[in-house]
Amino acid sequence: MRATNNPAADGFAWDGTPKNRRPPRALRVSPDSPTKLLRSGQTGRCTACGNRVEWYYRDSDRAVPLHPGELPTHLVPDDQRWHVLSGAARPTQDGSPWCRVHHHALCPATPNPGVPGLQEARRNLALNTRRLLDTGRFTPRQTPPATDPAQTPPRRPAVQLLHLLYLAPAPVDQITCVAQTRARHRCTQPLLAPRTTPGTWICIPTPATTGHLTAPSTPTVMAAYDLNQLPYAEQLRWRAQRCPTHAATPSAADTALTGREPFDTFVHHQHIHPQPFDTLHHAAGGHGLPEPPPRHPPPT
């Protein structure tokens, strides 16, 4: 009886609309969107507690890991409320009864600031961490010993771009395009593509830190890959982290975060070197990590 009355049996979908009558719907990135980052694939896990986070651009230079769920706004202190507007995270008030929070406000691996409204969510994450540990599905990240060269973080050069200083996500010749190809994969083309003008290595004074004392071993000058001399459009291409082809395709979405960070002398002290990366790289034989400069060894 039900089978004869089921419209799906007569070439109709479950809701009564004809099957295979509509052309497939094509989603496109709006040229005016503040971010071209696809939401799919932008989840990750906190390396300290194993809980899920969702990455959003805060602005064009920074990304923030937000807790995946929303919380009642009245439980969250004013200065810890986040909202997602047009795909980007904003630390603003929008009058909504629900808001997002930065994962660090709930991370059970960090000291508990004791915010009453966040205690229940924090407890739930702590329980989940315990479950993940007990079932062997999560191992907290171990801080590698500084003396083990195999565990030393990869070299990331400082890059000057649009008169700002950044820490690049990878050596300059290994930075790849973040755009999505027609086959829906991440583009593998390098930013330093053939027939494009490369930047130049320069030495700049190491920026002063704000609110922190600089380690005595920090070099007073540092090497940076300078892109300020490139045409404005080329600098925009480097900032968007797109190959020449995808820089000319604004409708293409991004599949990954750029990984670039505003340079901070205190946070990024291990990446400060007075010599250009490629010089050190070749001096070390083209493999492994270079020996530290004799007069200004990097801080450990």
Residue 5 is which amino acid? N
Binders of Zn ion in range 83-112 (CB under 5 A): 107
- Minimum CB distance to Zn ion smaller for 109 or for 203: 109
Query: Cα(233)–Cα(242) distance, rounded to whole angstroms?
Result: 12
- Minimum CB distance to Zn ion smaller for 2 or for 195: 195
Residue 226: count other Cβ atoms within 10 Å of its Cβ: 18
Q: Does 187 bind Zn ion (CB under 5 A)?
A: yes
Shortest Cβ distance from residue 107 to Zn ion (Å)?
Answer: 3
Closest CA to 57 of 37, 43, 33, 71: 37
Shortest Cβ distance from residue 231 to Zn ion (Å)?
Answer: 19
Q: Does 178 bind Zn ion (CB under 5 A)?
A: no
Shortest Cβ distance from residue 147 to Zn ion (Å)?
Answer: 27
Count of residues in contact with Zn ion, rule CB under 5 A: 10
Query: Cα(81)–Cα(94) distance, rounded to whole angstroms?
Result: 10
Q: Give the x-and-dash track for 32-51 against Zn ion (CB under 5 A).
A: --------------x-xx--
Q: Is 86 exposed, middle or buried (0-12, 13-18, 19+ CB in 10 A)?
A: exposed
Rounded CA Rg of the chain: 24
Q: Does 179 bind Zn ion (CB under 5 A)?
A: yes
Q: Does 177 bind Zn ion (CB under 5 A)?
A: yes
Place of tokens 């969250």: 76
Point out which span in 5-13, 23-31, 185-193, 276-284 binds Zn ion (CB under 5 A): 185-193
Query: Cα(47)–Cα(52) distance, rounded to whole angstroms?
Result: 10
Q: Which residues bind Zn ion (CB under 5 A)?
A: 46, 48-49, 107, 177, 179, 187, 189, 243, 246
